Amino acid sequence: MIAATTNLLSAPAARRARSEQKRVAVLRFLRQEIWSSQDVLGALMGLESRTSAHKALTRMETEELLRRHTVMGLGGGRLTLWGITAHGQAMAFDPATEMPLTAYFEPGKVAEPTIKHGLDVQRLRVYGERAGWRDWVNGDRLPDLLLGGKRPDAIAVSPAGQKTALEIERTIKTTKRYEQILASYLMALKAEQVQQVLWLSPTTDLAARLRAVIFGIKAVTVQKQRFTIDPKKHHSRLGFLSYREWEDGIDVPGERS
């Protein structure tokens, strides 16, 4: 009887603790990301049910921690973004070790063309951190550009401890542009600013095509001088994965046994 009573008392407490963990996870994530979608935040909270995710976010909206905004016209449809409020930012930091951030969700400042790319970066961050990636910093928050002027979509440390430049590539650019990007990354790799570069694409097919384009580059220009690419030397720290392969924890260059 005592055990049954204890279980009845502990169940609500356990639910409250889980709810608080999810609340803190969302606030910590949006402290830097500022806005996201229900799908991304649901994955962050470990909620497979869209209804459960919606209820959790609506509860935080009622507490004035979040606000929502519907964006029209994305591929002919609509998308609801959930963003952190000023009050949410005030509740998102550890006053013992951190300073508060002043950025909060302002829908008018979110550019529609960047939303899909931004949500892809966020989704990959959620699954990457779940797989052991750490110290994730989005490119727009990096203090300095890499050598050659490149700013990756993000930099993070892999489970094996490799500082990695991450490029999220939804569509393929011109070969000329990739020559410039590759030149910058080869300079950054040589200077040990990063230890590997990983391109992530929506599908396996696109990742393979991107790999063929970049590995097909025979020479790059660095400081007005032309340098020939040596595949054995220059390709070994470049990797290409699909989103699904990333989420499934497929290995990356420099980490294969």
How does pLDDT run across 177-209, given as a tens digit for each residue?
999 999 999 999 999 999 999 999 999 999 999
Contact 194, 238 (CB under 8 A): no
Encode pLDDT of 43-99 as tens digits.
999 998 999 999 999 999 999 999 999 998 666 678 999 999 999 999 999 999 999
Determine the Cα–Cα distance for residues 37 and 29; give it in Å rounded to an integer: 12
Name the percent of the chain lying above pLDDT 90: 77
pLDDT averaged over the chain? 91
pLDDT score for 4: 53
Q: Which candidate, 181, 202, 183, 208, places its Cα nearest to that of 244?
A: 202
Strand 134-138 to 154-157 pairing: antiparallel
Q: Look up the CATH architecture of domain 111-257.
A: 3-Layer(aba) Sandwich (3.40)
Tell me the residue ranges of DSSP E strands in the chain: 35-37, 66-74, 77-84, 134-138, 154-157, 163-168, 196-201, 219-222, 225-228, 238-242
pLDDT score for 257: 42
pLDDT score for 75: 66
pLDDT score for 76: 66
pLDDT score for 143: 75
User: Fold identical between 1-110 and 111-257?
Assistant: no
**Does 1-110 carry CATH code 3.40.50.1860?**
no
Strand 196-201 to 219-222 pairing: unpaired
Q: Which has more confidence, 45 or 12?
A: 45
Domain regions of the chain by residue span: 1-110, 111-257
Split at pLDDT 50, 70, 90, the class of 176 is: very high
Query: CA–CA distance from 12 to each of 7, 8, 9 (Å)?
Result: 9, 7, 6
